[in-house]
Amino acid sequence: MRIDDSQGTTVKYIVRVIALKSFCRIYLNQVRIYYFYIKYL
């Protein structure tokens, strides 16, 4: 693995950020649904 390969590193970083964002959004939706379910049961 070369250190000067900035293009591939940038692509990997963007992919990681997008995956993390979608994961956080899904996780927050699950928590919100769970909280709503507990609150209004």
What is the pLDDT at residue 2?
62
The residue whose two tokens read 């250190």 is 3
What is the pLDDT at residue 33?
93
Domain ranges of the chain: 1-41
What is the pLDDT at residue 3?
60
What is the pLDDT at residue 13?
94
- Which phi and psi angles does 37 have, rounded to 5°? -65, -45
> In 3D, which of 40, 21, 19, 16 has the Cα closest to residue 32?
40
Reading the block at residue 24, the tokens are: 């956080």
**What is the mean pLDDT for each group of 10 consecutive residues in the chain (41 residues)?**
72 95 96 92 76
